[in-house]
Amino acid sequence: MKKLLLPIMMGLLLAGCAKNDNPFLETYKNKYGAPPFDQIKNEHYMPAFTEGIKQHQAEIDAIADNKEAPTFENTIAALDYSGELLNKVSSVFFNLYSSETNEGMEKIANEISPILSEHNDNVYLNEKLFARVKTLYDNRATLGLDPEQNRLLEKYYRDFIRSGAALNDEDKAKLRVINKELGLAELAFGQNVLDETNSYKKVVENEAELAGLPESVRQAAAETAKENNLEGKWVFTTQKASFIPVLQYSENRELRKELLTAYTTRANHDNEKDNKATIVKIMKLRTQKAHLLGFETSADFILDDTMAKTPKAVYDFLQSVWEPAVAKAKEEAKELQKLMDAEDKGEKLEPWDWWYYSEKLRKAKYDLDEEALKPYFKLENVRQGVFDLASKLYGLKFNKLDSMPIYHPDVEVFEVKDADDSLIGILYTDYFPRAGKRAGAWMNNISEQYKKDGVNHRPIICNVGNFTKPTADKPSLLNMDEVETLFHEFGHALHGLLTQCTYPSLSGTNVSRDFVELPSQVMENWCWEPEVMKTYAKHYITGEVMPQELMDKIQKAGTFNQGFINTELLSASILDMDYHTIKDTADFNVNEFEKASLERMGMIPEIIVRYRSTFFNHIFTTGYSAGYYSYTWAAVLDADAFQAFKETGDIYNPVVATAFRKNVLERGDSDDPMKLYRTFRGADPKPDALLKKRGLK
């Protein structure tokens, strides 16, 4: 009965939306092929999904039923270029589902998820289609393929195997059920986190409770209160831009504790938005899927398709950084406790104290007050700084497009051109928190780059963040972490923009999860270089460049608090691995599992893991399962890669920049990632570079 209801519902939606009124079913009219966001409505999605699936299935059937012998062009290339309409609507829907969702979109997501899962299974479990792919794979040495074609063929064969194409019919049926249930569970997890984030508001009525908070923080809280019809009060939320300044500056210890506790217990309140049962379900399904596909654990399955390859390799790597990181964190904790002891309050250092006393310690050690830096980090100036950096490194030009349709007033659009004025792509930026946007920062594609029939289709890229919002009398002034994040996400954008691949599945950021963070993290290395800071660190009122004295202090404080930062990050990476190396599917208690994991790794009580289980979106919704380690893995690569510039004495060295662009940024997944890196660097990365850079050695 349930299977019969779905087509009926879709038919009703189709009937209510004429084909020629649906922007997805027409050719986008602007010259960049960008979506007409101002015309797209919720009722357009399901009819477009339905038609897209129908068209894609027809293409798949045509490839599978082709009477001609399989060739690379009539099978692999045809497969990779298929599904244009489905990709068109999916990219818009899931971009907006992350950045501008609403109740209607959540309903659509829950409706379309099992349908997309079934369609994906229909493709990868198609026996005739797999037979053609396997024939080509088995004879690949005789086909005369170029390296990119060979890479694509091997990737498709691997994807078919990993999607269950070699299973028997009974196991294929089990896999279909698992995939549908898993998709819905992952959606539910993310929706619960968003709802919990939006529902919490700390209302402060007595200004005395705000002691220690800078005026800019108070003003932002007052404006949040006004937005919530609480004028004359102050409101804080679990968005980082709201509560982190409280942790840094508030003299009110109870307020610090309440906000950090609210943030770290999201979706862990034993109510309808609690994620503990959802985590158990996700991990049971992922483990069952791994077992079906012949792997001992979910991590074994996931990592088989990465640079790391095995859970042991990841654990060994993480342990090599964890030990010096936690040792450093213990030293830092002692320093902070001394500051607390000097106040003679008899208090013991707790997680809600760390930010507050480390800010005091930074001021005492380096005479560096982050609040005094923020006037020099106007968001628009920082963004222009990364644009200028990309111009110096790669010759890129950025032109603002004021007439492009956008999906929210905060969004801005830029045309990106190469040094020869050829089009590189389009970049959307969307930087401020709101109720319809999930927390964090990310880069996404609206359309992929690829080459077909002599045309190089250029990409459309989004950079999304949740940075400090402007107030009534001040622009958005970023803290140091937000500056680094903007540089980081722009690095992802460059990876997506500069790609020059033939096939969409290989282009841009379609690389292994533990390689994708290299282009983003390497950008952070330029962030605090004085030469670069002079291009963007300008006072928002006077326009004066940050004094050299302040830049020098930032340099001297470069490894400050790195024990905390790395312990917080690495503990999340190890927790992720512990979840994904579960071997059986018996129910377990999430809070107890997390507690045991942290105790086993030797987590110190003064620091909370960066992402507690119930809001760990990276590993339960956004594709970093058994992959959160990749931020640290890629940090080895980025430290070594930036050293290639430093060794020349020129951080803009054009020869090194060209080599990085040609061998990494343009190549996507067209070759083995370590081979691409070696071609750029001339050698394997040196692991010690990371420990030295972070002051852990």
Q: Three-state SS across 392-416? A: HHHCCEEEECCCCCCCCCCCEEEEE
Which entry of 51, 332, 359, 489 is annotated as an active-site residue?
489
C-alpha span between 409 and 202 (Å, rounded): 27
Q: Three-state SS across 32-91? A: CCCCCCCCCCHHHHHHHHHHHHHHHHHHHHHHHCCCCCCCHHHHHHHHHHCCHHHHHHHH
Residue matched to tokens 């107890």: 592
Cα–Cα nearest to 603, from 624, 623, 574, 627: 574
Q: Would you state the structure tokens that stand for residue 88, as one six-digit string? A: 């068109």
Burial 211-223 (b: 16+ CB within 10 A, else e): eebbebbbbbbbb
Q: Would you state the structure tokens that stand for residue 233, as one six-digit string? A: 């009060």
Q: Three-state SS across 80-133? A: HHCCHHHHHHHHHHHHHHHHCCCHHHHHHHHHHHHHHHHHHHHHHCCHHHHHHH
- Residue 242 contacts by C-beta under 8 Å, 6 or more apart in sequence? 220, 221, 224, 236, 433
- Residue 549 contacts by C-beta under 8 Å, 6 or more apart in sequence? none
Active site residue 448: no
Q: Which of the 8 DSSP states describes residue 538?
A: B
Q: Would you state the structure tokens that stand for residue 22, as one six-digit string? A: 């649906």
Do 412 and 400 meet the contact criterion of CB atoms below 8 Å apart? yes
CA distances from 487 to 314, 414, 427, 644 (A): 26, 16, 14, 19
- H or E, element range at 592: helix 590-601
Task: Give the angle 372-374-378 at the CA atoms, nearest 5°.
Answer: 150
- Residue 142 exposed, middle or buried by CB count within 10 Å (0-12, 13-18, 19+): exposed
C-alpha span between 202 and 447 (Å, rounded): 40
Do 527 and 293 meet the contact criterion of CB atoms below 8 Å apart? no
C-alpha span between 561 and 54 (Å, rounded): 54
Do 186 and 286 meet the contact criterion of CB atoms below 8 Å apart? no
Residue positions annotated with a catalytic role = 489
